[in-house]
């Protein structure tokens, strides 16, 4: 659990309670409302997990809500009736001013995620959180095995620690886990440091709320600064973001490799050199193509619509073993089927002799005689969020694999000066369309991301399926008050699908001295906005061809499409950045690899141009957006970098 502190207290708690009960009131289409103590307690714990700047703003937002209502309606928010409060929040949600819409959307997100965590509520709206398929007889969920003395969580630390090794690897995601295993296999002494805790099938409950609070960085509130602000999902757990992704696997497209060779001098990144690495990685994590029944009904509907339009719809490949399609890939696989780093490379590294230090937050690099010589950090307690002990790990070489946002921040804190550090941020922005179908879809049955349509890849648009639990899905759909509850009852008939754009926008990561964290600035370019609008239109055409009644777009200027004529209306509408609701899952490029320090932060071997003995092996070294999911690319580059470390 996250730090036990109160966010909504006193007057702020009263105002938030009134807001929650206005968004989801008791009575009406189903009995439960968001005014119960359990929902409010979960909401407070969720808000407490958010990054400090967001968390600190909540009391001020409550004051704003209270008195903006007074200015607009002549009553404070708490003086309004439930219906008046719902109408006021609905007006904010559709306000022409982006920041006011954002306030309403954040309140709705916290409320929905906390409310729909309850099994009785899910049953009331006809949605199940249990896996649809039955496990084969004798098949048990797999929990990773760590040899005695190889794995340390908070309870295993006697106090402050000092340790030494050949190589210390910081981060246990797609990059760090691969490097740790490869180097341990070479016989080097390895310490793998991970800020987050280990979560297993014994602790997963298939709920988005629990995973967001416990496995996502800052309660999934990490976001770019810009218009729109784009939430960027990062894992903070053993396995990193691989533990909370959709298990989708693509190799690096050849046109992207050619671009890197031509523009950055990375002549070693050829299919001939990378294909053996891809094959090795795919075998290790069991990349496979699933059957259509496991892919789920949404995938079948998209296939039907794509076929009607003559488009190419194919099953995605996933790193899974014995997958039953439980549909909660992003919240911890309850079956242990997803072959993420926490069940593959991390325990394998431990079996090869590596030590795993979890709950250890690295704060700085150790530099001696002009070389990287270790890391320092703090041991923290996941139950309270409080730091308790110091950690000092000396090493002959250091590998940073903290991720695209955190690695450059750590480099800046350590004083490295390469001008490319933190630049060239690309995030692969994504949105979704939600189709309301005549038939029951029951999108929670099957993998959460089943198929893709790549006909528009040359235009920088990829369509990939995505289903999320009710709390997240309903937070992004129209409706406040009883109209929200009516929308909730449509859950069995809703079919979402994802739209991702290969962004030309480039942002930048800064080190935030005030919070001691990273700050990612990203102002999406109009050309990327136009791509996104076209992607929404393409997805809409597919769903209408498959018989959809209507479509919800996530574009505030044209939020609902009632038919194909509305698709034409969307395409002719001028959509600007502040009209978009977006997310991002694939940040890349902030310490990019290049042939020389004028163009990048690390060389072909992954070693820093500025600090000998320091290597980087995570998404930050991937030179640019790929247009596809990047985990296989990150793993292959990490394996290549590991081979250069002796």
Average pLDDT rounded to a whole number, residues 299-321 = 97
- Eight-class DSSP state of 198: -
Whole-number pLDDT of residue 52:
85
Tell me the pLDDT tens digit for each residue of 362-421: 999 999 999 999 999 999 999 998 999 999 999 999 999 999 999 999 999 999 999 999
| H or E stretch covering 391 | strand 387-400
Q: Report the candidate in 430, 468, 462, 455 with the shortest Cα–Cα distance to residue 586.
A: 430
Angle between helix axes 52-73 and 10-23 (nearest 10 degrees) is 70
Spatial CB neighbours of 253, under 8 Å, sequence gap ≥ 6: 626, 627, 628
Q: What distance in Å separates the CA atoms of residue 408 and residue 421, rounded to the nearest whole number?
A: 6
In angstroms, the Cα distances linking 231 to 226, 321, 508, 511, 521 are: 11, 30, 15, 18, 12
Tell me the pLDDT tens digit for each residue of 322-350: 999 998 999 989 888 999 999 999 999 99
What is the token pair recorded at 143? 């929990």
C-alpha torsion angle, residues 261, 267, 269, 274 (rounded to 10): 140
DSSP string over 92-112: HHT-SSHHHHHHHHHHHHHHH
Give the pLDDT band (50/70/90) at residue 3.
Answer: very low
Give the pLDDT band (50/70/90) at residue 1.
Answer: very low
Average pLDDT rounded to a whole number, residues 240-266 = 97
Q: What distance in Å separates the CA atoms of residue 136 and residue 121, rounded to the nearest whole number?
A: 29
Q: What distance in Å separates the CA atoms of residue 505 and residue 426, rounded to the nearest whole number?
A: 7
Bridge-based pairing of strands 355-357 and 190-193 is: parallel
Whole-number pLDDT of residue 203:
84
Bridge-based pairing of strands 451-453 and 429-436 is: unpaired
DSSP string over 138-179: T---------TTSEE-GGG--SSEEEEEEEEEE--STTHHHH
Name the average pLDDT for the chain: 94
Angle at CA 168, nearest 5°, toward 167 and 172? 125
Tell me the pLDDT tens digit for each residue of 117-143: 898 999 999 997 677 556 665 566 667
Tell me the pLDDT tens digit for each residue of 474-489: 999 999 999 999 999 9
DSSP string over 497-520: EEEEE-----BEEEEETTTTEEEE
Q: What distance in Å separates the CA atoms of residue 616 and residue 607, rounded to the nearest whole number?
A: 7
Q: What distance in Å separates the CA atoms of residue 151 and residue 642, rounded to the nearest whole number?
A: 22
Average pLDDT rounded to a whole number, residues 469-478 = 94
Whole-number pLDDT of residue 515:
60
Q: What is the 3-state secondary structure (H, E, C) of 506-563?
A: CEEEEEECCCCEEEEECCCCHHHHHHHHHHHHHHHHHHHHCCCCEEECCECCCCEECC
Whole-number pLDDT of residue 486:
97
Tell me the pLDDT tens digit for each residue of 177-188: 999 999 999 999
**Taking a C-beta distance cutoff of 8 angstroms, is the pair 230, 224 a contact?**
yes
Of 6 and 411, the structure prediction assigns the larger pLDDT to: 411
Average pLDDT rounded to a whole number, residues 233-259 = 97
Q: What is this structure's pTM?
A: 0.96
How large a percentage of the chain has pLDDT more than 90?
88
CA-based torsion, 73, 74, 76, 80: positive or negative: negative
Give the pLDDT band (50/70/90) at residue 216.
Answer: very high
**Taking a C-beta distance cutoff of 8 angstroms, is the pair 335, 324 a contact?**
yes
| All domains in the chain, ordered by first residue | 10-115 (no CATH), 289-325+425-584 (3.30.410)
In angstroms, the Cα distances linking 379 to 51, 165, 391, 423 are: 19, 18, 7, 30
Q: What distance in Å separates the CA atoms of residue 229 and residue 433, rounded to the nearest whole number?
A: 19
What is the token pair recorded at 188? 């080097």
Spatial CB neighbours of 161, under 8 Å, sequence gap ≥ 6: 357, 379, 389, 390, 391, 392, 393
Burial (CB < 10 A; 0-12, 13-18, 19+), residue 95, is middle
Average pLDDT rounded to a whole number, residues 70-89 = 96
Predicted confidence (pLDDT) at residue 565 exceeds the cutoff of 50: yes
Q: Report the candidate in 27, 45, 53 with the shortest Cα–Cα distance to residue 16.
A: 45
**Taking a C-beta distance cutoff of 8 angstroms, is the pair 295, 450 a contact?**
yes
What is the token pair recorded at 360? 């250890």
Predicted confidence (pLDDT) at residue 208 exceeds the cutoff of 60: yes
Bridge-based pairing of strands 190-193 and 161-170 is: parallel
Q: What distance in Å separates the CA atoms of residue 383 and residue 398, rounded to the nearest whole number?
A: 29
What is the token pair recorded at 271? 């299919």
Give the pLDDT band (50/70/90) at residue 6.
Answer: confident
Average pLDDT rounded to a whole number, residues 548-565 = 96
Angle at CA 224, nearest 5°, toward 359 and 20? 80
What is the token pair recorded at 301? 């509907």
């Amino acid at each position: 659990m996250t730090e036990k502190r109160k966010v909504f207290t006193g007057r702020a708690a009263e105002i938030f309670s009134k807001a929650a009960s206005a968004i989801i009131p008791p009575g009406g289409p189903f009995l439960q409302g968001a005014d119960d103590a359990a929902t409010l307690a979960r909401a407070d714990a969720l808000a407490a997990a958010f990054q400090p700047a967001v968390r600190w703003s909540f009391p001020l937002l409550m004051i704003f809500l209270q008195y903006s209502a007074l200015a607009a309606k002549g009553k404070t928010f708490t003086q309004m009736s439930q219906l008046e409060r719902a109408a006021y929040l609905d007006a904010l949600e559709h306000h022409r001013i982006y920041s006011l819409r954002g306030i309403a959307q954040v309140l709705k997100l916290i409320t929905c995620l906390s409310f729909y965590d309850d099994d009785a509520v899910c049953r009331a709206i006809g949605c199940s959180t249990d896996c649809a398929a039955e496990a084969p007889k004798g098949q048990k969920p797999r929990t990773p095995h760590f040899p005695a003395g190889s794995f340390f969580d908070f309870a295993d630390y006697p106090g402050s620690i000092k340790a030494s090794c050949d190589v210390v690897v910081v981060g246990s995601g797609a990059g760090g886990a691969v490097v740790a295993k490869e180097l341990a296999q070479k016989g080097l002494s390895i310490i793998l440091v991970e800020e987050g805790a280990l979560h297993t099938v014994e602790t997963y409950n298939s709920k988005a709320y629990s995973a967001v609070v416990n496995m996502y960085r800052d309660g999934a509130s990490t976001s770019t600064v810009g218009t729109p602000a784009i939430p960027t999902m990062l894992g903070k757990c053993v396995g990193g973001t691989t533990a909370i992704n959709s298990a989708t696997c693509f190799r690096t497209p050849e046109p992207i490799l050619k671009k890197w060779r031509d523009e950055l001098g990375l002549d070693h990144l050829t299919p001939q050199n990378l294909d053996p690495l891809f094959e090795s990685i795919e075998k290790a994590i069991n990349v496979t193509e699933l059957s259509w029944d496991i892919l789920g009904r949404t995938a079948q509907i998209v296939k039907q619509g794509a076929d009607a339009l003559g488009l190419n719809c194919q099953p995605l490949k996933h790193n899974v073993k014995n997958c039953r399609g439980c549909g909660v890939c992003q919240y911890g696989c309850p079956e242990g089927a997803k072959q993420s780093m926490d069940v593959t490379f991390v325990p394998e590294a431990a079996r090869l002799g590596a030590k795993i230090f979890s709950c250890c937050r690295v704060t700085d690099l150790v530099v001696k005689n002009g070389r990287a010589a270790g890391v320092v950090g703090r041991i923290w307690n996941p139950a309270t969020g409080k730091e308790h002990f110091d950690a000092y790990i000396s090493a002959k070489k250091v590998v940073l694999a903290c991720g695209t946002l955190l690695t450059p921040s750590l480099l800046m804190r350590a004083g490295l000066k390469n001008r490319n550090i933190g630049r060239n941020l690309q995030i692969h922005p994504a949105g979704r369309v939600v189709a309301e179908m005549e038939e029951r879809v029951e999108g929670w049955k099957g993998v959460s991301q089943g198929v893709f349509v790549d006909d528009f890849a040359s235009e920088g648009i990829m369509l990939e399926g995505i289903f999320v639990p009710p709390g997240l899905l309903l937070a992004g759909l129209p409706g406040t008050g009883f109209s929200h509850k009516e929308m909730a009852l449509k859950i069995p008939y809703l079919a979402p699908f994802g739209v991702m754009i290969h962004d030309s926008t480039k942002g930048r990561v800064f080190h935030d001295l005030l919070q001691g964290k990273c700050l990612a600035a990203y102002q999406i370019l109009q050309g990327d906005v136009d791509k996104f609008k076209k992607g929404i239109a393409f997805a809409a055409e597919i769903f209408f061809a498959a018989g959809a009644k209507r479509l919800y777009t996530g574009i505030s200027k044209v939020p609902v499409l009632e038919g194909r004529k509305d698709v034409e209306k969307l395409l002719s509408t001028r959509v600007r950045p502040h009209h978009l609701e977006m997310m991002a899952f694939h940040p890349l490029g902030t310490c990019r690899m290049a042939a020389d320090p004028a163009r990048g932060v690390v060389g072909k071997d992954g070693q820093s141009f500025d600090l000998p003995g320091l290597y980087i092996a995570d998404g930050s070294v991937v030179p640019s957006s790929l247009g596809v999911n990047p985990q296989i690319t990150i793993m292959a580059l990490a394996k290549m970098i590991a081979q250069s470390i002796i």
